[in-house]
Amino acid sequence: MKLEDMRIVVTGGASGMGRHFTLALAGAGAKVAVVDIGDEGLASLADDAKGLPGEIRTWKVDVSNEEQVVRFFEEAWQAFGGLNGLVNNAGIFRDGLLVKKDKDGSIKTMTLKQWQQVIDVDLTGPFLCTRELAKHVVANESGGAVVVNISSVARHGNVGQSNYSAAKAGLVADTKIWATELARYGIRVGAIAPGFVETPILLGMRPEVLEGMLKGVPLRRVGKPEEIYAAVKFIIECDYFTGRCIDVDGGLTV
């Protein structure tokens, strides 16, 4: 698929890596439907997109809310005269150990709320969005589409992230399943598992904490959003790629 022919949804597209994906795609001539819950980020996208050859339209949507997702895809499909792409990028963290005993003897646990919030956004969100895109593509026989799921190196299991790791591992498993189920309709599904990437959240860490994290990265640095976008671009453009996950993590092992 050619980038200039894309009518693509980017979830979590108003901040972090998603914002970079949005602007890079629009810069290549794509029409981008941006989904996010951040009013400020959505509002400022128009300014950043001025002069780009593509088009950006924004919707405030909670990807874990089925009703909102269904309504969004109906509206975006009409607005762009169809859709042929989706980047499932929206995600959150609610880190914590499963069980921890403090020095005073008190016991802390990961709460059900911490668990469920991450599963809802990071796993149920991609399920809902992929389902709705595929439903419209199949119903309209529109010629196929491509889905890019943003997973994480944490899918292998990272201490303090049992909720996040479970969601990101599940997303890679679903990538394989959906690729197999949807291939007959011309829909490809791929995944990307970034390591530590230069985003506002990561750069907001204390320097000594970030330095400690990077000791496990053979390249000894964080990745840049444009390096993750290179993998997004590859999956979109390579029509023979489906059902696999690309690791872009500097060689990190967790």
Catalytic residues: 164
DSSP per-residue codes, 111-155 = -HHHHHHHHIIIIIHHHHHHHHHHHHHHHHT---EEEEEE--GGG
What sign results for the dihedral spanned by CA atoms 230, 198, 119, 167? positive
The answer to whether the CB of 83 falls within 8 A of the CB of 134 is no
192 DSSP 8-state letter: E
Tell which residue, 232, 241, 247, 253, has the closest CA to residue 9.
232
What sign results for the dihedral spanned by CA atoms 209, 96, 154, 190? negative
Report the C-alpha gap between 136 and 106 in whole angstroms. 52
**Structural tokens at position 194:** 């970034």
